[in-house]
Each structure stands twice: as structure tokens, then as C-alpha cells.
Amino acid sequence: MLMKAFTKKGGYSTATALDYVSLENPIYTLSIELEARYEYVDGKSTGNIIAYSAWFVQEGTGPFKVKFENKIKLPAFLSPVTLEDLEAVVVNYTVYFRAKNIIPVS
């Protein structure tokens, strides 16, 4: 399930991410492995991996997917984490998130 949102103009930003996710509450991992995102040309996959994604949850939000440009190491299921440089963008009333890395919280 992706978060639904109100219309907003512009690209990815930290401010948009903070409209939907709180830095005050812990974020937990749901994914146990990364999902590869492939490049498509003319509606067909080229087989080239362009990004990875994983699912997370925070109290008060539904599960949300975060895109990473590089392959990262996921901690165990339901581990508390911080998402480094979390940003979001709203496209057609859907919120898309991206981050640079995951930092496990002790």
C-alpha cells in the first residue's frame, strides 16, 4: 500500500517526507530482502538494475516503500532504523520516498 497525499509541486524534498513521517518516532524495517528496480525502455525491461527498494513502517502510518540508489544491507525484520537523508515526492496523489542509507538504531 502506498500513502495517498494531497497535491504538491516540486521534486523530492525533506520537507515533503516530514509531512508523512515523523523523526520523533521510530521507523521499523518490514522487508527481509531488497527488491531490485529495473530500467525499462519502450515498456520492456533491459535487465539493468537502477535502484533497490524496501518496506518500512512507523506507528501512525501505513507501510511505505523507500527507494535506494545503491544496494544496502537490511537489518533484521522489525529492527528500528533511521533513514539517512529521507526525502519524498508526491506524484498523482501518491507519496514516493527515497533515502541514501539505513542506520540501525541501538
Quick: pLDDT tens for 39-98: 999 999 999 999 999 999 999 999 999 999 999 999 999 999 999 999 999 998 899 999
CB–CB of 20/88 below 8 Å?
Answer: yes
Which domains does the chain carry?
Answer: 14-104 (2.40.50.390)
How many Å apart are CA 104 and CA 59, to the nearest integer? 17
Q: pTM for this structure?
A: 0.86
Residue 106 confidence (pLDDT): 81
- CA distance to 2, 50, 83, per residue, from 57 (Å): 11, 24, 12
